[in-house]
């Protein structure tokens, strides 16, 4: 009784606040240190601008930066959604038919090992210099975690539960959709977290190669003019976009936990 | 004359058997490294009878049960339920496992309704029955709770209701209470005993608890260590309904002692 009161007191109030502030404090300290060192040594701005200079660059180029969010974010999101849908369909198909799995899965795993970035120029060659090549490449790069993780998840259902379904004369399709698929959902969510990050990378790489728009393109333009502060500002915007997508999936993951009854 | 009578006797006992494992043998991984799980099993359960399969771990009790459920095919011999050979799972047979195997995202009532969904029966028709069953096992306050919010004993109660909802004639139970603590286990034995009083199914119950087997059963079959064969077939004479005061009686303990001796004699 007493113990539970103590531990509750310890969990709430001051220390918790401190712990959640800890990363912010660290970040602030590093920024201040960075600001100070660059100012003190009078380091060239074109190589390492001060944090305050980056903030200023964001302010000065606000319209430029914001207008370039959409081309990058929409293609990344589109690629991610297509990858999720196609990856999901493929893994369900492979879970349903052993024949398909035997034929397909070793090839997918083999392909997964190939460094995928190396394919980027080929996508430009095949799909042109417009957004289609970047979309295609984003799908290509982000689909593998979905397939591999989902396949593992669908295989991971408690065998006794499969037996129960069998004993109830469930069809293969019923077992797949009513039991195996829901059990694999946590795998899907964690794969989606990986996949959205990869889709972003895919789009940026695509923009580096050909694009006339997007935050990746902006980085290259700023690079050409040695506007390092604008480069870093663009990177920051990319981080914000990535974080935004990630937090949506994290929220889905939280809802899933509730659905599974793990959280109240 | 005498021969004729015994043949007749055999014939009637055969037709008596609702569940019949006839000379069943099961070999896993046939080949040089094969495992002979059970061998020459002959086991009969009459309609409405509750029989326990008692034996040490790994003696093939569960394998036998899975063959009766139609989930495993015997290497030799055959299994008949209700006179028809078991070739694949059938909806007149219900199954319970050591683990409750509930779906974590479904509430108690939805878990009980799960077989109805699989069997594509009319949902409305069974919803009341599901509530009734859950009430019967003392879970009327927990209809909408998910498995994570229930105790181990409660989860097994839900699993019993799930096995009963679609009204199978035979209930096969594979050590359903062996993962529970001793007190909850006794409680569950009583719950099952009471349910049996109302539902009158044919039951086959796998356990390694002698006390549980004797308390619940009309008959106890003792299996030997692998390869499993049936080495004892004992009627349990106590009238039903039984309650837990029975386990304190000398007669009860005498039977338990006798069965213990049969099991120990193999080592």
- Cα separation of A43 and A184, whole Å? 52
Give the pLDDT score at B260.
92
Q: Which of A261, A262, A263, A264 is the best residue to mutate to test the B interface, defined by the most B CB atoms within 10 Å of its own CB?
A: A261
Residue in chain B lying closest to A173 (CA)? B118
Mean pLDDT over the full length of chain A: 91
Chain A residues in contact with B114 (beta carbon < 8 A):
168, 178
pLDDT at A19: 79
pLDDT of residue B120: 94
Domain boundaries, chain B: 16-92+174-181+204-267
- DSSP letters spanning A76-117: HHHHHHHHHHHHHHHHHHHHH-HHHHHHHHHHHHHHHHS-GG
Contacts of B171 (CB under 8 A, 6+ apart): B93, B94, B95, B96, B163, B164, B201, B202, B203, B204
Residue A10 has pLDDT above 80, yes or no: no
Hey, are the CB atoms on A178 and B117 less than 8 Å from each other?
Answer: yes
| Mutant choice from B88, B89, B107 vs A, greatest count of A C-beta within 10 A | B89
Into how many domains does chain A fold? Answer: 2
A249 CA: distance to closest CA in chain B (Å): 19
Say if A193 falls within a structural domain.
yes
pLDDT at A219 over 90: yes
The verdict on A97 and A10 lying in the same domain is no
Q: Is residue A93 domain-shared with residue A37, that is, in the same domain?
A: no
Do B104 and A174 make contact, defined as CB atoms within 8 angstroms?
no
Considering the domain B16-92+174-181+204-267 in this protein, what is its CATH number? 3.40.50.300
Residue A246 resides in a domain: yes
Angle, CA of B159, A257 and A3, to the nearest 5°: 90
Query: In the sheet that B84-85 helps form, which strands lie side by side, from edge to edge?
Result: B35-46, B17-28, B76-81, B84-85
Which stretches of chain A are DSSP H helices? 2-11, 13-41, 51-60, 62-67, 69-96, 98-113, 120-127, 131-155, 159-167, 172-175, 181-209, 215-224, 228-259
**A29 and A116 inside one domain:** no
Looking at the complex, report in whole angstroms how far the Cα of residue A16 sits from the nearest Cα belonging to chain B.
Answer: 27
CATH of the domain at A215: 1.10.3720.10
Domain identity same for A145 and A254: yes
Residues A28 and A135 in one domain: no
- Give the closest residue to B203 by CA, choosing from B232, B170, B174: B170
Under the banding of pLDDT at 50, 70 and 90, the label for residue A5 is: very low
Confidence band (pLDDT; 50, 70, 90) for A14? low
Enumerate chain B positions whose Cβ falls within 8 A of a Cβ in A: 66, 69-71, 88-91, 93-95, 97, 99, 101, 103-105, 114-115, 117-119, 146-149, 166
- Residues A133-154 have a mean pLDDT of 96
CA distances from A41 to A49, B119, B127 (A): 12, 77, 77
Do A187 and A231 fall into the same domain? yes
Residue A54 lies in a domain: no
Interchain proximity B97–A261, CB inside 8 Å: no
pLDDT at position A20: 82
Kindly state whether residues A255 and A126 are assigned to the same domain.
yes
Tell me, yes or no, whether A232 and A117 share the same domain. Answer: yes
Q: What pLDDT shows up at residue B265?
A: 82
Domain containing A89 equals 62-259
**Which residues of B are less than 8 Å from A182 in CB distance?**
103, 105
Q: What pLDDT does residue A6 have?
A: 46
ipTM of the complex model:
0.87
Tell me which chain A residues have a C-beta less than 8 angstroms from the C-beta of B104.
Answer: 260-262
Task: Walk along chain B (267 residues) in steps of 10 and give the mean pLDDT of each run.
Answer: 44 67 88 86 91 86 91 91 90 93 95 96 93 93 94 94 94 93 92 89 93 94 86 90 90 94 82
């Amino acid at each position: 009784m007493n113990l539970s009161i103590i531990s509750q007191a310890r969990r709430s109030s001051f220390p918790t606040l401190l712990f959640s502030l800890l990363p912010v404090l660290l970040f602030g300290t590093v920024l201040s240190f960075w600001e100070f060192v660059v100012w003190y040594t009078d380091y060239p701005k074109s190589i390492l601008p001060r944090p305050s200079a980056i903030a200023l660059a964001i302010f000065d180029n606000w319209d430029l930066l914001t207008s370039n969010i959409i081309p990058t974010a929409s293609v990344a999101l589109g690629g991610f959604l297509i990858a999720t849908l196609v990856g999901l369909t493929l893994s369900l198909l492979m879970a349903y038919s052993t024949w398909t799995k035997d034929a397909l899965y070793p090839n997918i795993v083999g392909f997964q090992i190939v460094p995928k970035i190396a394919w980027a120029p080929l996508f430009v060659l095949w799909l042109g210099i417009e957004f289609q090549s970047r979309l295609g490449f984003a799908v290509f790069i982000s689909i593998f975690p979905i397939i591999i993780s989902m396949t593992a998840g669908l295989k991971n259902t408690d065998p006794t539960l499969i037996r129960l379904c069998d004993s109830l004369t469930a069809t293969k399709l019923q077992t797949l959709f009513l039991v195996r698929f829901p059990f694999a959902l946590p795998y899907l969510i964690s794969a989606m977290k990986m996949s959205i990050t990869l889709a972003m990378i895919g789009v940026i790489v695509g923009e580096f190669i050909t694009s006339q728009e997007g935050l990746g393109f902006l980085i290259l333009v700023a690079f050409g003019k040695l506007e390092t502060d604008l480069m870093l500002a663009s990177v920051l915007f990319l981080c914000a976009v990535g974080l935004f997508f990630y937090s949506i999936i994290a929220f889905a993951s939280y809802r899933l936990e509730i659905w599974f009854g793990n959280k109240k | 004359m005498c021969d004729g009578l015994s043949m007749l006797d055999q014939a009637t006992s055969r037709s008596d058997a609702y569940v019949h494992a006839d000379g069943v043998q099961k070999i896993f991984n046939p080949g040089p490294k094969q495992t002979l799980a059970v061998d020459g099993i002959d086991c009969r359960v009459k309609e409405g009878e509750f029989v326990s399969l008692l034996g040490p771990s790994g003696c093939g009790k569960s394998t036998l049960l899975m063959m009766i459920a139609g989930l495993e095919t015997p290497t030799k011999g055959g299994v008949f339920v209700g006179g028809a050979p078991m070739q694949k799972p059938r909806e007149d047979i219900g199954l319970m496992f050591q683990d409750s195997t509930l779906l974590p995202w479904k509430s108690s009532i939805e878990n009980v309704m799960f077989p109805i969904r699989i069997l594509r029966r009319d949902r409305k028709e069974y919803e009341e029955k599901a509530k009734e069953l859950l009430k019967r096992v003392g879970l009327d306050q927990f209809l909408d709770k998910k498995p994570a919010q229930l105790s181990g004993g409660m989860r097994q109660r839900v699993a019993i209701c799930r096995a009963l909802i679609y009204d199978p004639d035979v209930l096969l139970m594979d050590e359903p209470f062996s993962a529970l603590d001793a007190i909850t286990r006794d409680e569950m034995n009583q719950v099952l005993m009471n349910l049996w009083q109302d539902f009158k199914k044919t039951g086959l119950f796998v356990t390694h608890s002698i006390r549980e087997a004797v308390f619940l059963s009309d008959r106890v079959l003792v299996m030997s260590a692998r390869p499993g064969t049936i080495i004892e077939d004992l009627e349990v004479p106590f009238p039903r309904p039984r309650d837990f005061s029975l386990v304190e009686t000398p007669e009860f303990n005498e039977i338990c002692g006798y069965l213990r001796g049969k099991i120990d004699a193999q080592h």
